[in-house]
Amino acid sequence: MAPVLQLASTSPRRREILASLGFRFDVVEVETDERPLDGELPSDLVLRLAIAKAEALNCGSCVLGADTVVVLGDRVFGKPRDAEDAVNMLLSLSGCKHTVLTGVALKTPNGTRSVLSSTDVQFREIGQGEALRYWQSGEPADKAGSYGIQGLGGMFVKAISGSYSGVMGLPVFETIELLASAGIDVFEKKR
């Protein structure tokens, strides 16, 4: 039986979340320029990129795309370039509340729909040595804001208000709503 979905992302977290929901899907890597446009709001950025990823595939099945950024004031943190960038991000987030935005888009033969997940995350204080040791663990290298809430990075999180799975990169509630709007029944997906 053909997969219900195409996932336009190679993120292990997105694969994990979608698989945990029981969906059959193929993973397809798509190239997208993730640089923000001049004056683009972070919420518009993640929605634009999620839509671009979903619409990059021309196939007959449904395509799911997503993008996540961390926002602190007027600064947008994507994936770190290197150790120095990661440590600087973590020290900027230290002791602060920031917002994690994840845009999710679903392309179907009837068009593309998108939704936004917004979660506030409060970090505890982080020292430079601790931030560097965390980088050296290898975990933050491919994560927006240089941390993974579901792993070691969870030790920095004092509190969250919003979607835990959205911080991981694929908000379950919003994703299921999008799939349901396309007629994909979460309880029928295994057949």
Burial label for 30, CB within 10 Å (0-12, 13-18, 19+), is middle
Position 125, amino acid: E
Residue 76 phi/psi, 5° resolution? -115, 125
Residue 67 appears among annotated catalytic residues: yes
Catalytic residue among 67, 120, 142, 185: 67
Query: What is the enclosing helix (H) or strand (E) of 38?
Result: none
The first and second tokens of residue 74, run together, are 């007027």
Dist CA 70 CA 115 (whole Å): 17
CA–CA–CA angle 53, 59, 61 (5° rounding)? 90
- Decide: 153 and 169 in contact? Cβ < 8 Å: no
Sign of CA dihedral 126, 129, 130, 134: positive
Which active-site residues does the annotation give?
67
